[in-house]
Copies of this chain bind each other. A is one copy, B any other.
C-alpha cells in the first residue's frame, strides 16, 4: 500500500482540505433554498433521489447521523409532504422512505439556486482552478462516503 499522505506536501494538503471543507460547509449551511429545510434534510432528499428508497436506519448510516436524529428528520419531511413512508415488505420493524414528486420538483429548483450561489463564488476562480475542482468533485464525494 502506498504511503499516500505521510510526506510533507500531502500533510499540508490534508490540513488545507480539512479547514476548507469545514469552512465551506458552514457557509453552505446558510445558503438554504427553502428556509424551512435544514441542510441535513436537504441532504437526505438528495440521497433518496440517488438511491430510490431506503429505511430510516440506512439513511442514518449514509448521512452519518444517529438513528433518533433520522427519525426526527424523516418525520419533518413527511409532515411537509416531501417523503412517503410505507411499511417494509419483509420486516414490520422497518419502514420504507421514498421521496414524493413534490420533493423532486423542489430538488430541481434547489439545484438551480445553489448553482447560482456557487457560480458567484466561482467567479473568483480562474478557468484552471475551476477545472481542478471539477475533477476533484467525484473524488471528494467518494471520500465522504468511505
Binding site for B on A (CB under 8 A): 1-2, 4-6, 9-30, 39-40, 43, 46, 63-65, 111, 114-115, 118-119, 121-125, 127, 129-130, 132-146
Contact = CB atoms under 8 A, between A and B. Distances in A.
Contact of A23 (B19, B27, B122, B145): B145
A21 B16 contact: no
A87 B79 CA distance: 52
Contacts of A125: 4, 139, 142-143, 146
A27 B115 contact: no
A2 B129 CA distance: 13
Contacts of A24: 21, 25, 140, 143-144
23 contacts: A2-B127, A4-B119, A4-B122, A4-B123, A4-B130, A5-B118, A11-B111, A13-B133, A14-B115, A16-B140, A17-B118, A17-B133, A17-B140, A18-B118, A19-B141, A20-B141, A22-B29, A22-B43, A24-B25, A26-B40, A121-B146, A122-B143, A125-B139
